[in-house]
């Protein structure tokens, strides 16, 4: 795992979610390196699609237990997930019509900032609740 310290500070104390966060973060770093290496477009799109899939799967993984156990912040939390996915898929479509490395860099930076902010301001607040429901 890269950026171990940054991610350790972001731990939500639930193993599955920490692992998924790390995978998403690693993928963003891999994408940045791929841009710098001048990786072919098809591979870049493959990476972006993987990012979208991983994010979607992770958001569902968090939302399921929140919904099942009636977490108070569920609606607001899901709304943040949905808004990011909407922006991300729109930007992915825009890249298909006119690809720009500069735009791709901006997207990756935005998602990276979003994740750090979201984990700090939203994810960390479900820890105690989900621990009480037996998640660890
Ligand atoms: Fe979340
Ligand atoms: Fe999360």
Structural domains in the chain, CATH included, are 19-132 (1.20.120.50)
What is the distance in A from the centroid of ligand 2 to the CA of 98? 30
Distance 17 CA to ligand 1 centre (A): 9
3-state secondary structure (DSSP) of residue 70: coil
Task: Give this prediction's pTM.
Answer: 0.93
CA of 38 to the centre of ligand 1 (A): 32
- Tell me the CA–centroid distance for residue 123 and ligand 2, in Å: 6
55 and 84 Cβ atoms separated by less than 8 Å: yes
Closest alpha carbon to 54 in 93, 15, 28, 86: 28
**φ, ψ for residue 71 (rounded to 5)?**
-70, 130
DSSP state for residue 11 in the 8-state scheme: -
Q: pLDDT tens per residue, the chain (136 residues)? A: 456 677 788 999 999 999 999 999 999 999 999 999 999 999 999 999 999 999 999 999 999 999 999 999 999 999 999 999 999 999 999 999 988 999 999 999 999 999 999 999 999 999 999 999 999 9
């Amino acid at each position: 795992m890269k950026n171990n310290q940054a991610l350790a500070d972001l731990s939500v104390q639930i193993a599955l979610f920490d692992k998924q966060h790390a995978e998403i973060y690693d993928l963003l770093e891999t994408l940045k390196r791929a841009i710098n290496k001048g990786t072919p477009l098809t591979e870049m799109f493959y990476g972006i699609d993987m990012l979208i899939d991983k994010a979607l799967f992770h958001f569902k993984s968090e939302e399921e237990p929140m919904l099942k156990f009636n977490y108070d912040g569920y609606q607001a939390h899901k709304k943040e997930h949905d808004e990011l996915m909407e922006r991300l898929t729109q930007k992915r479509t825009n890249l298909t019509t006119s690809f720009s490395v500069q735009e791709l860099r901006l997207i990756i930076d935005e998602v990276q900032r979003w994740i750090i902010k979201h984990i700090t301001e939203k994810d960390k607040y479900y820890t105690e609740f989900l621990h009480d429901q037996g998640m660890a």
